[in-house]
Structure formats: C-alpha cells, structure tokens
Amino acid sequence: MYFIKDQENIHVKDQVFIKPDYLNHPFISGNKYRKLKYNILEAQRFQKTRLLTFGGAYSNHIAAVAAAGSEFGFKTIGVIRGEELVAKVADNPTLSFAKKQGMHFHFVSRESYRLKVTNDFIESLKSKFGDFYLIPEGGTNKLAIKGCEEILTENDKNFDFICCSVGTGGTISGLINSSGSSQKILGFPALKGEFLKEEISKFANNPNWDLISDYHFGGYAKINTELISFINEFKAQYGLPLDPVYTGKMMYGVFDLMRQGYFPKGAKILAIHTGGLQGIQGMNDALRKKKLPILN
C-alpha cells in the first residue's frame, strides 16, 4: 500500500477547523482507507486472495472494499442486504461502481442478513466461496481501530475538542486512543440507539469522550429539507462538500452546539471529515423520487 501525508486543516470559523481526511485516496477515502489499511496488510500476510464483507445498497464500505480489492489484487465478495436489489445494480451508483471494480455480489434477505455474525452463516459463506479474509460490516475491528488512531497527528494536539461522525464506532475509538488527555472527543451518531456506547467501550482506552445523540435526523440515512439546505449552504460558503449520512449531520450538530454556547469561549474545535461523498448520488436519486430538493 502507499500512503500520503495528512492534509492541512481547513479553517471554517474562528473556533472550528476541518481535517479533510477524505482526500487521502480518491476511492478508498477517509475513514474507510484508515480502517482497511491494516486489514489489507493482514490479508496479504496470510496470503489471502479474497476479501468478503457486508453492506447495504449505498454502503461507503462496500464501495471502498471493492476499490481496495481492485487496487491491491484481491477478489472481493459483497454480501448485500436485500434480495430485491439483484435487478437494480445498474441503477444503483454504489453497487454499479463496486461491480466495475470487480466485486461479486451475494444478495440475501434482510432476515438472513441479521445472522451475518453467526458461525453458521459464516460457515455457509465459506462453503459457497471458499477461503476468504473476513472484514465486518462497516470495517470495524482491532486492525481498523489501529488505522483510525493515525488520523490525529502531533499537529492536532493543540485542539480542545475533536468531533467526528459515528457509524459503527471504529473511527471515534481510534481518535479516543490517540487523543491527548486534555482533549475531549465528541461523536455524532448517524443512527438512533444507545448500543454504540457499549461498542465503543470495547475498543476505547481513554474516558475523554461522549456521544451527542441529538442530530441523527430520525435515523440512519434519514434526511430532511433543513439538513439539505445546511449542506448546500455549507458548500457554497466554505467550498467543502458534506455527505448527508455522516459528516453533514456532524457539522450541523457542531454549528448548533456553538450557537447554544456548548463550547467554552476560546476553545479550538477540530472536525474530522471522514468522507462518504460517494453516497450523494444515490441520496439525490432518492430525493428526486420524493420530489425534494437535492444536494449540490
């Protein structure tokens, strides 16, 4: 694998800086690159030839694994939630991209998908596809945490608050582990549910973190006109695109907390832009069908 230097922080407001970590790779971008880095090296070490993982119709993780397989010489298998998607691959920008990268799809029902972590289900996949290197849904495991610990560098030690969006909890766990004791890590979950605290606690080594659970906009991949307007205005004003599932909700939350006076006067805030921009096209397709404004 090859690595590039961290991008400089982008100043957005007097208190807020954004680290555009999504610029680390054109296709395996942001936290997906971080999560896959050591998993790819591990798969190479064990001389695996196949990567198998799980995801939904517009999964950033599916797109990233497919691109990583193409770049580093692995066959890739995506176990996709929803048998109805079999006939819709050509109309789905995420799945069509993954297919072009060489990914083979295995579509399963939503009921079967819930069994994805069970031994019986994994063994059935081995019987069907042979030996493979297993990467969990969303990419979070110990090696992924190790990669995410590299997001923060010495240049980031002068920030008081580090903010990130939260999906499966891997990225924030890495940030917590590599943060300074005087820093506070704030996670903005993209989905409803209190289970994330337990998941993060499995990997996080420091107590300096909290979840701000008020900005999920109804749940995973849920969006409304207020969030669309915020994302479009943000891009127009600062020249930075935000995705509607993760970073858009995080930045909306950060700005709202600033208006409420949540952050102490003079505090320096660093927001991590983890990527997810490939999902914008699919979201816009859904918004058009609902006759709602689209993301610029």
Is pLDDT of 97 > 50?
yes
| Of residues 208, 186, 192, the one with CA closest to residue 272 | 186
pLDDT for res 2: 41
Could you read off the pLDDT of 176-210 as tens digits, one per residue? 999 999 999 999 999 887 789 999 999 999 999 99
**CA-CA distances (angstroms) from residue 259 to 15, 39, 166, 265, 279?**
12, 40, 22, 12, 29
- Tokens 């996080």 belong to residue: 204
Confidence of residue 3 (pLDDT cuts 50, 70, 90): very low
**CB-based contact 162:187 (threshold 8 Å):** no
pLDDT for res 4: 44
Q: What is the mean pLDDT of residues 252-273?
A: 96
State the pTM of this model: 0.93
Q: What is the mean pLDDT of residues 285-293?
A: 93
